[in-house]
């Protein structure tokens, strides 16, 4: 099965969603996204970190160093209140977009 | 939205300020990721080494991620600026000598200007502290025709103030004040301090509330005698009373009165004073009432400065017309009382409303003009300094053009490059500005000391306004000096610069730098010529014989502070003081004093039998003297005798005239024995018993004054103090004499002693200030110009090392080489000097009224300055010349 290229801008949405469940470190986010998408979405690991830092800069996620599950030092990201709001807005927009796109595609 | 902006800002600032930490963070994060990814593969059975390789592939290039990440962090404006700053600091640290030279040059230039600004600002521009809406407040000045000239008079009689207040309608407020040194305190800590005598409504001109207690009210300030109440100033309350609140209700001795303290003015309030803060304010009427009880009924005592506030909507012109009308009415009222007052048609009285700062008043005189001159000179010095710095930066840019070209070739934007050079300029200017603040403080302090009492400027001389001024000047200079090399750098021809070695194929002078050096030379020449002219003027002033010896004479004044001594008691006191003073070791003589030259000018009318109109021959100045006067102050008697102890009250009247007066009244005749009638023709004769040498008592000039001397005792004038002649320098004996005489003073009274010369120096002050300031700034400018010439010549020598090497190889001798370099320097110096002399000649028109007995084109001064300039130019070029002579031909030719 071919892997999907992520449309522009969706990586942010996926990261926010992944973080909405619990704080994660970078690697865990990429693993989680791959598992959940049944490996259909290949998160480009190289873009993950710049994306994380961009979200951090915007104040949607915050970062803290803490012990990981295997007791090593890892940088954990967590959704902020602003991030939660942003996630809601982006999910909303995404659903409207997909609905609209499907409607158009089902056009006869 | 705001939260997000804040977050962005915090993130970026952290990214910039803690760049190292952020980068380490990222490294650690990526390392952790790689490890976990590798672990995953290992768990799936891949060998460790292979697993790590796969993990790295999956992540992609670490460096690229870091790069992307940096983009995320943003090379914002802030980071560019900090980068440029880092770069500038680093490159400036590489050349500490250059950096120091630039900072010092700027510091001196900015400092001199800022220091003088702070003085000018106080005198010319700054309204009194805390004044409410100063734009609507003016000081009123009276003017009238007097002996064919328009006299300006800023001191109102109390009655005049009442008249004007009553007969005008354009003003919402009007107040009078007169600040003066008065005796404050009693016993040991009594001293002369500044006291504000102010009408009660003066306080309402300001946005102030008392720090403690209350201000006095109008009902406490009414003629014929106000209430004896005082409002302390904040600093005096702090320093003298330790800020205690129980000070209210206690009394303070001021002058002849014991005033009850009823309040303390707030911090920062100094009344109408720009410099020193008075220790206290007392009602005008309280002070005046202690002196006499008729001050509010007549126009005899003009002593009050008047300020007015225009009603909203009243123009300055309308207000001036209104107050002038009132003044005319008041003038007429005065004439009705005293028919000797000139009629309106002759006097043409009018009022002028001037801004409150001291230097902007119509009678500001020299005090107002000098700061402007000095300010202009300081500005010229600043330009010289700026030109110097621009020259240094240009040289630096030129030396760095390879580096710059390389960076351009590597793709650094020209804008960015200009930005970097600008940053460097601004950084230097900033450091120079800070240095300048220090220098400025010193300059202002020196200037204030020089100015003396003419403009009391105590307190913090470097304040917010001066700091802002320094910052603005530094910014302008930084931009100006930074832009020039920046433009030069950005324009430089890439290919040519890269191709050429550090040595040019052909040696080229930098025209811009040459021009800058010539400008410096020209301006410093002009300044030095002005300095020379003022120095000569000052010398000429000093050389004028005053006709009395101020350098060895002290003037002592007694202040009885209202102690009621009978005439006899006072006479006895003064006689004892005189005897005691005369008996002191190191004292040559003492006499009771009445008049003081330059301070007192009287000219009671007199008639001379046989001369129709004595007035036409005038003016005649009267000095009242005691026996021993002429010997004590050193005025020689040319013929006859001096006023002596035989000239008693009731005895035959004696008069001593100056040689000039004798000449005017009886040309070609012997004046001795002639008759002068004091007052009208019916008075008895005063016989001329002596002719004294001419003296200067009014204005320093060559014009001989007609003066005459009467025995104080014969006109029943009390004496107030002494002249004491000492053997050494008068200034050295002030304290010794004062301490000794003070022991004779009864009760709360005290005696002040000052050198006679201090009383006369005021008249010489403008030349002294001119000489000092022009000399100081001229020398500063010359030093800067010398640095400029040195750096240009030194730079040229470096540039020509190759050429010089060739010359040496071809057999040039040391003398030829040094001559070559010296000629280079001299050419610059002489061109600058020529332009400077031309400038000075052009400026001579404005300079000449400020000089004394000195042509503004004095060839001696021009020649001396030219000599100095040539000498300094030679010195400045000598070091590079010596270096040129030491050039090793081998090395020079092989280099590069």
Kindly write down the DSSP assignment for every residue of B319-340, as one continuous string. HHHHHHHHHHHHHHHHHHH-TT
Q: Determine the average pLDDT of the residues in B653-667.
A: 88
DSSP state of B452: G
- pLDDT for B179 beyond 60: yes
Q: Which of B2, B6, B7 to mutate to test the interface with A (most CBs of A within 10 A)?
A: B7
- Reduced to 3 states (helix: H, G, I; strand: E, B; else coil), residue B413 is coil
- Find the DSSP H helices in B44-139: 48-59, 62-73, 77-94, 96-120
User: What average pLDDT is seen over chain B?
Assistant: 80
B578 to B574, B588, B720, B726: CA distances (angstroms):
6, 12, 12, 13
Helices (H), B686-747: 730-742
Peptide bond into B619 cis (omega under 30): yes
Residue among B675, B674, B651, B692 nearest B545 (CA): B692
Residues whose CB falls within 8 Å of the CB of residue B613, separated by 6 or more in sequence, listed in order: none
Evaluate whether residue A4 is within a structural domain.
no
Worst-scoring range by mean pLDDT, A2-16, B168-182, B523-537? A2-16
pLDDT in tens, B477-486: 788 777 766 6
Query: B53-112: per-residue pLDDT in tens?
Result: 888 888 877 777 777 777 666 655 666 777 778 888 888 888 787 788 888 888 888 887
Which letter does DSSP use for residue B355 in this model? -
For residue A101, is it within any domain?
A: yes
pLDDT grade for B633, boundaries at 50, 70 and 90: confident
User: What percentage of chain B carries pLDDT values higher than 90?
Assistant: 12
> Which token pair is B64?
């690229």
Nearest residue in B to A70, CA atom:
B36
Query: A53 vs B73: CB contact, 8 Å cut-off?
Result: yes
- What helix, strand, coil percent values describe chain B, rounded to 5? 55, 15, 25
CB B308 within 8 A of CB B319: yes
User: Is A3 within the bounds of a domain?
Assistant: no
CB B706 within 8 A of CB B603: no
Query: Above pLDDT 70, what percent of chain B?
Result: 85
- Indicate yes or no: CB of B69 within 8 angstroms of CB of A47: no
Partner residue facing A26 (CB), from B6, B29, B40: B29
Of B369-373, B455-459, B478-482, B684-688, where does mean pLDDT reach its minimum? B455-459
CA–CA dist B550, B871 (Å, integer): 39
- Mean pLDDT computed over B186-194: 70
Residue B866: C-alpha distances to residues B789, B845, B861, B881 (Å): 16, 21, 8, 21
Compute CA distances B515 → B34, B388, B522, B565, B598, whole Å.
64, 11, 10, 75, 50
Question: Chain B residues with CB-CB distance to A under 8 A?
Answer: 3-4, 6-8, 11-12, 25-26, 28-30, 32-33, 35-37, 39-40, 58-61, 64-65, 68-69, 71-74
Selecting from B6, B11, B30 the residue whose C-beta is nearest the C-beta of A49 gives B30
Tally of domains in chain A: 1
- Chain A CB contacts of B4 below 8 Å: 58-59, 82
The two structure tokens encoding residue B794: 């030194």
DSSP class per residue in B260-316: EEEEEPPTT--TT-SSSPPSEEEEHHHHHHHH-S-TTTSS--EEEEEEEEEPTT--H
Residue B425: which pLDDT band, with cuts at 50, 70 and 90?
Answer: confident
Residue A70 lies in a domain: yes
Q: How far is Cα B231 from Cα B221, in angstroms, rounded to an integer?
A: 13
Question: Are A46 and B68 a contacting pair at CB < 8 A?
Answer: yes
Mean pLDDT of B581-591: 88
Nearest to A54 among B4, B29, B72 (CB): B72
Q: What is the DSSP letter of B595?
A: -
CB neighbour list of residue B20: distance below 8 Å, 6 or more residues apart: none
Comparing C-alpha atoms, which of B377, B71, B309 is closest to residue B170? B309
Higher pLDDT, B30 or B511: B30
* Closest Cα in chain A, distance from residue B38 (Å): 11
Arithmetic mean of pLDDT, B631-651 = 86
Number of A/B CB contacts below 8 angstroms equals 72
R_g of chain A, CA atoms, integer Å? 15
| Predicted confidence (pLDDT) per residue in B211-257, tens digit | 999 999 999 998 888 889 999 999 899 888 888 888 999 999 888 78
- A53 → closest Cβ in B39, B40, B69: B69
Task: Report the pLDDT value the prediction gives residue B359, as an integer from 0 to 100.
Answer: 56
For chain B, the domains span 2-74, 134-356, 366-542+767-894, 550-762
Q: How many CB atoms lie within 10 A of CB B569?
A: 13
pLDDT: which is higher, B725 or B758? B725
Distance (Å, rounded) from C-alpha B762 to C-alpha B757? 9
The dihedrals phi and psi of B298, each to the nearest 5 degrees, come to: -130, 180
The answer to whether residue B143 scores a pLDDT higher than 60 is: yes
Cross-chain Cβ contact A27/B64 below 8 Å: no
Q: Which residues contact B235 (CB under 8 A, 6 or more apart)?
A: B267, B277
Q: What's residue B487's pLDDT? A: 66
Residue of B nearest to A77 (CA): B29
Minimum-distance CB partner of B11 among A44, A56, A75? A56
Find out whether B50 and B41 touch, Cβ atoms under 8 Å.
yes
Max avg pLDDT among B322-331, B419-428, B540-549, B616-625: B322-331
Asked if pLDDT for residue B703 goes beyond 60, the answer is: yes
Question: What pLDDT is attached to residue B75?
Answer: 52
Inter-chain contact B4–A73, Cβ cutoff 8 Å? no
8 Å CB contact between B378 and B116:
yes
pLDDT computed for residue B506 by the predictor:
45
* pLDDT > 90 fraction of chain A, expressed in percent and rounded: 4
**Once rounded to an integer, what is the mean pLDDT over residues B193-208?**
90
Helix, strand, coil content of chain A in percent (nearest 5): 55, 15, 25
Is residue B505 pLDDT above 50, yes or no? no
What CATH number does the domain containing A21 carry? 1.10.10.10
B424 pLDDT above the threshold of 90: no
| Residue A2 falls inside a structural domain | no
Q: Is the pLDDT of residue B189 over 90?
A: no
Q: Give residues with Cβ within 8 angstroms of B674, minimum separation 6.
A: B608, B665, B666, B687, B688
| Residues sharing a CB contact under 8 Å with residue A57, sequence separation 6 or more, in sequence order | B7, B8, B11, B12, B72, B73, B74
Residues contacting residue B852 through CB under 8 Å, at least 6 positions apart: B537, B538, B540, B541, B700, B767
Is residue B804 within 8 A of residue B494, CB to CB? The reply is no
Chain B, nearest residue to A76 by Cα? B29
Residue A92 domain boundaries: 10-105
Question: Which pLDDT belongs to residue B728?
Answer: 86
Q: Tell whether pTM > 0.95.
A: no
Residue B188's Cα: distance from chain center in Å? 34
**Residue B604 pLDDT:** 59
CB contact under 8 A, B28 and A54: no
* Orientation angle between helical segments B401-409 and B366-399, nearest 10 degrees: 60
Of A31, A53, A58, the CB nearest to B7: A58
Cα–Cα distances in angstroms (integers) from residue A91 to residues A85, A97, B82, in the given order: 10, 10, 39
Least-confidence region, from A55-69, B60-74, B734-748: B60-74
Q: How far is CA A66 from the centre of its chain?
A: 21
Residue B377 tokens, joined: 């000179």
Candidates B8, B30, B32, B55: best to mutate against A (most CBs of A within 10 A) is B32
Give the three-state DSSP class for B700.
coil
Residue B19 CA: distances (Å) to CA of A79, B11, B420: 24, 11, 20
**pLDDT over threshold 90, residue B163:** yes
Rounded to whole angstroms, how far apart are CA atoms B179 and B190? 18
Write the ipTM: 0.87
Under a CB-based contact definition with an 8 Å cutoff, are residues B653 and B686 in contact?
yes
Residue B281: predicted pLDDT: 94
Q: Which residues of A touch B (CB under 8 A)?
A: 25-28, 31, 44-47, 49-50, 53-54, 56-59, 68, 70, 72-75, 82
pLDDT at B385: 83
Mean pLDDT of the region B331-350: 86
Whether B6 sits inside 8 A of A59 (CB atoms) is: yes
Q: HSE-up of B317 (CA within 13 Å, CB side)? A: 0
Per-residue pLDDT, B326? 94
Phi, psi of B681 (to 5 degrees): -65, -20
- pLDDT tens digit sequence for B451-470: 544 333 444 455 677 778 77
């Amino acid at each position: 099965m071919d892997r999907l290229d992520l449309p522009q801008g969706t990586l942010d949405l996926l990261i926010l969603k992944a973080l909405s469940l619990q704080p994660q470190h970078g690697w865990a986010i990429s693993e989680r996204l791959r598992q959940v998408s049944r490996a259909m979405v290949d998160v480009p690991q190289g873009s993950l970190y710049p994306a994380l830092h961009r979200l951090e800069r915007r104040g949607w996620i915050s970062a803290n160093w803490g012990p990981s599950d295997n007791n090593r030092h890892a940088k954990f990201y967590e959704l902020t209140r602003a991030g939660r709001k942003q996630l809601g807005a982006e999910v909303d927009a995404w659903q409207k977009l997909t609905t609209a796109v499907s409607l158009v595609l089902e056009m006869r | 939205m705001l939260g997000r902006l804040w977050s962005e800002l915090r993130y970026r600032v952290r990214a910039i300020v803690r760049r190292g930490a952020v980068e380490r963070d990222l490294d650690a994060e990526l390392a952790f990721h790689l490890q976990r990814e590798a672990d995953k593969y290992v768990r799936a059975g891949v060998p460790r080494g292979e697993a790590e390789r796969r993990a790295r592939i999956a992540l992609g290039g670490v460096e690229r991620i870091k790069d992307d990440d940096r983009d995320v962090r943003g090379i914002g404006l802030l980071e560019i600026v900090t980068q440029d700053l880092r770069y500038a600091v680093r490159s400036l640290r590489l050349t500490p000598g250059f950096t120091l030279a630039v900072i010092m040059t700027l510091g001196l230039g900015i400092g001199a200007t800022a220091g003088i600004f702070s003085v000018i600002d106080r005198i010319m521009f700054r309204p009194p502290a805390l004044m409410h809406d100063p734009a609507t407040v003016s000081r009123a000045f009276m003017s009238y025709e007097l002996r064919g000239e328009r006299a300006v008079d800023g001191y109102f009689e109390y009655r005049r103030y009442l008249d004007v207040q009553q007969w005008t309608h354009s003003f919402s407020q009007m107040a009078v004040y007169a600040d003066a040194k008065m005796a404050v305190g009693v016993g040991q800590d009594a001293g002369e301090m500044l006291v504000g005598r102010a009408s009660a409504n003066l306080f309402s001109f300001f946005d102030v509330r008392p720090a403690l207690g209350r201000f006095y009210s109008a009902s406490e300030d009414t003629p014929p005698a106000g209430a004896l109440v005082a409002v302390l100033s904040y600093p005096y309350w702090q320093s003298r009373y330790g800020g205690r609140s129980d000070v209210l209700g206690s009394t303070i001795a001021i002058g002849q009165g014991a005033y009850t303290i009823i309040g303390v003015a707030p911090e920062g309030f100094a009344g109408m004073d720009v410099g020193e803060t008075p220790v206290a304010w007392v009602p005008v009427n309280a002070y005046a009432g202690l002196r006499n009880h008729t001050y509010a009924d007549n126009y005899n005592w003009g002593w009050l400065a008047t300020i007015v506030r225009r009603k909203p909507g009243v123009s300055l012109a309308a207000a001036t017309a209104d107050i002038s009308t009132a003044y005319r009415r008041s003038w007429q009222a005065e004439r009705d009382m005293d028919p000797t007052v000139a009629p309106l048609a002759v006097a043409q009285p009018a009022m002028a409303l001037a801004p409150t700062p001291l230097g902007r008043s119509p009678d500001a005189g020299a005090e107002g003009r000098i700061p402007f001159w000095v300010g202009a000179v300081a500005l010229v010095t600043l330009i010289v300094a700026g030109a110097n710095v621009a020259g240094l930066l240009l040289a630096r840019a030129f030396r760095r053009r390879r580096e710059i070209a390389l960076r351009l070739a590597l793709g650094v934007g020209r804008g960015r490059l200009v930005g970097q050079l600008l940053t460097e300029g601004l950084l230097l200017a900033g450091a120079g500005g800070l240095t300048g603040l220090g220098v400025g403080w010193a300059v202002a302090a020196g200037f204030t000391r020089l100015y003396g009492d003419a403009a009391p400027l105590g307190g913090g001389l470097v304040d917010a306004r001066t700091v802002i001024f320094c910052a603005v000047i530094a910014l302008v200079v930084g931009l100006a000096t930074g832009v020039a090399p920046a433009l030069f750098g950005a324009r430089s021809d890439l290919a040519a610069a890269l191709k050429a070695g550090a040595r040019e194929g052909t040696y080229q002078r930098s025209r811009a730098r040459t021009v800058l050096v010539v400008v410096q030379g020209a301006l410093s020449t002009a300044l030095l010529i002005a300095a020379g002219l003022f120095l000569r003027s000052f010398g000429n002033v000093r050389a004028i014989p005053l006709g009395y010896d101020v350098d060895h004479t002290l003037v002592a004044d007694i202040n009885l502070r209202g102690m009621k001594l009978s005439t006899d008691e006072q006479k006895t006191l003064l006689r004892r003081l005189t005897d005691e003073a005369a008996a002191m070791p190191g004292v040559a003589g003492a006499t009771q004093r009445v008049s003081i030259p330059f301070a007192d000018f009287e000219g009671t009318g007199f008639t001379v039998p046989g001369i129709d109109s004595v007035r036409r021959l005038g003016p005649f100045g009267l000095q009242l003297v005691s026996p021993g006067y002429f010997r004590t102050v050193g005025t020689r008697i040319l013929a006859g005798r001096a006023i002596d102890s035989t000239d008693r009250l009731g005895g035959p009247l004696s008069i001593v005239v100056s040689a000039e007066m004798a000449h005017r009244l009886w040309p070609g005749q012997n004046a001795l024995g002639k008759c002068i009638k004091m007052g009208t023709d019916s008075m008895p004769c005063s016989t001329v018993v002596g002719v004294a040498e001419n003296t200067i008592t009014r204005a320093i000039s060559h014009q001989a004054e007609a003066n005459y001397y009467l025995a104080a005792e014969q006109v029943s004038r009390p004496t107030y103090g002494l002249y004491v002649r000492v053997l050494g320098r008068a200034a050295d004996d002030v304290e010794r004499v004062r301490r000794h005489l003070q022991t004779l003073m009864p009760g709360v009274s005290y005696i002040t002693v000052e050198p006679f010369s201090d009383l006369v120096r005021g008249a010489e002050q403008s030349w002294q200030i001119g000489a000092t300031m022009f000399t100081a700034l001229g020398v500063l400018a010359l030093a800067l110009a010398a640095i400029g010439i040195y750096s240009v010549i030194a730079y040229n020598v470096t540039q020509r090392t190759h050429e010089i090497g060739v010359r040496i190889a071809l057999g040039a001798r040391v003398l030829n080489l040094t001559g070559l370099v010296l000629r280079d320097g001299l050419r610059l110096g002489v061109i600058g000097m020529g332009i400077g002399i031309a400038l000075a000649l052009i400026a001579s028109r404005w300079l000449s009224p400020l000089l004394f007995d000195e042509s503004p084109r004095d060839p001696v001064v021009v020649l001396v300055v030219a000599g100095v300039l040539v000498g300094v130019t030679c010195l400045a070029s000598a070091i590079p010349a010596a270096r040129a002579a030491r050039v090793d031909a081998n090395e020079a030719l092989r280099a590069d």
